[in-house]
Structure 1
Amino acid sequence: MTLDWEPAAGRPDLLADPVAEAILKGGLTGGPEGGRKVDVAAIDPTLSDTAAFCERYGVAPEDSANCVIVAAKRGGEVRYAAVMVLAVHRADVNGVIRRHLDARKASFASQAEAVELTGMEYGGITPIGLPADWPVLVDENVTRRPFIVIGSGVRRSKLALSGEALVAVTGGQVLALTV
């Protein structure tokens, strides 16, 4: 891997404001190595999208997890959730996720909605620092990874932590979420 990882708590300049706040409040001092919990590395923001990022920085796609924001609708009410799946899998939004969220309809939130509601940049949205009432659904395959790379809330950096740490720091619910 060609990234310079350092403890995320020491680099709030590389994080979206809600992510930095969550990391500092939660006492998250670093990533998967050396006993730390969350690390951050600066990247070229034009290479933030998963395929380009993995190719340029030598990260295997199975070590990269994507966060998608799902809008779940029932009876005129819209609830939001974050869904984490490995980059090599697809989230089953209209099946298991819709049923788990007890929604009649579930779809990806629009780019504008996701940005406005999270306070993060599109292409960098992460489950760390989301509104407290949003469930974080984590695919079971993510939890099996000792090292995963996720968004940092901005396109100019990435976070790294273990799949288990991701569940712990977000209060995530582990489910089989892929098709």
Structure 2
Amino acid sequence: MRAPIGTFDNARPAIDCLDLLTPSVVDALRGWSADVPVDQLIYVDTDPEIADTASFVEHHGRELLDQSANCVVVAGKRGAESTLAACLVQSRTRVDVNGLVRKELGARKASFAPRDTATGETGMEYGGITPIGLPTGWPVLVDAAVVDLPWVLIGSGRRRGKLIVPGKAFAGLPGAMVLEGLGV
């Protein structure tokens, strides 16, 4: 199978690669109910040493910067209450944490969740966090620019491997809210 973006040697339907994914991602793929058929989600094998965006696009091509998205975990706080959420923005942008995220979460303060919290709560590896398979009830804030892309390269839950997903699929994820201007 040829990957719809990039020049990856090993591309195949993610549903055929469950042994390479984290348990939460496996559960999400098995229970997939979005408008986009699950067999359209592609897994590509990649080197975990270059999983971070800058290294990845330097190795695989700068054009992927416009075709990839980062998923980050944020914590919104209001008094003693804390809400965890995921934000998905194009890799060439940054998340508007103190503006739009804070407002959407109804928080007084919002910040990136500590690494241990992000990995512990998601069950995913740092540098591979994906919006597919997040804990039930989490808000998933998705930049509208990501949804508009034909194909998007995202994490797979692990540092090794990436998923290539039709952009419109992110609007159908559990807890998804598509927002204009989330990535600035």
Q: One fold, TM greater than 0.5?
A: yes
Per the alignment, residue 104 of structure 1 pairs with 108
Question: What is the aligned partner in structure 2 of residue 90 from structure 1?
Answer: 94
Query: Contact conserved, 2:137 with 2:175, CA < 8 A, in 1?
Result: no
CA contact (8 A) 2:71 2:87 kept: yes
Deviation at 1:172, TM superposition (A): 1.5
CA-based RMSD: 1.3
Structure 2 residue runs of 5 or longer lacking an equivalent are 1-5
TM superposition shift of 1:68: 0.6
- 1:155 matched to 2:164? The reply is no
Match of 2:45 in 1: 42
After alignment, is 141-150 or 48-57 more displaced?
48-57
Contact residue 14 and residue 42 of structure 1 kept, 8 A: no
Give runs of aligned pairs for residues 9-88 of structure 1, distance below 5 A: 9-26=15-32, 29-30=38-39, 36=40, 38-58=41-61, 60-88=64-92
> What residue is the counterpart of 2:3 in the other structure?
none
1:166 deviates by: 1.9
Write the distance in 2 (CA, Å) between the matches of 1:56 and 1:166: 26
Q: Distance in 2 between matches of 1:161 and 1:167?
A: 12
Letter in 2 for 1:160: I
2:91 alignment partner AA = A
State the match for 2:179 in structure 1.
175
- Aligned-partner Cα distance in 2 for 1:2–1:60: 10
Q: Paired residue for 1:2, among 3, 7, 10?
A: 7
Runs of 4+ with >2 A deviation:
27-30
Q: How many Å apart are 1:16 and its aligned residue? A: 1.1
Partner Cα separation in structure 1 for residue 38 and residue 104 of structure 2: 32
- How far 1:2 moved relative to its partner? 2.1
**SS of equivalent residue, structure 2 residue 73:** strand
**Alignment-mate amino acid for residue 81 of structure 1:** A
How many residues in Structure 1 have an aligned counterpart in Structure 2? 173
AA aligned opposite 2:50: L
Does the 8 Å contact 2:88/2:143 carry over to 1? yes
Q: CA contact under 8 A between 2:125 and 2:159: conserved in structure 1?
A: yes
CA contact (8 A) 1:43 1:158 kept: yes
CA distance in 2, matches of 1:20, 1:90: 28
Structure 1 unaligned segments of length 5 or more: list them.
31-35
Percent of pairs with identical residues = 47
Point out the more displaced range, 10-19 or 116-125: 10-19
CA–CA distance in structure 2, aligned partners of residues 99 and 8 of structure 1: 34
Task: For 1:77 and 1:49, locate their aligned partners in 2 and report how far apart those are by CA, in whole Å.
Answer: 31
Q: Is the 8 A contact 2:138 2:175 kept in 1?
A: no
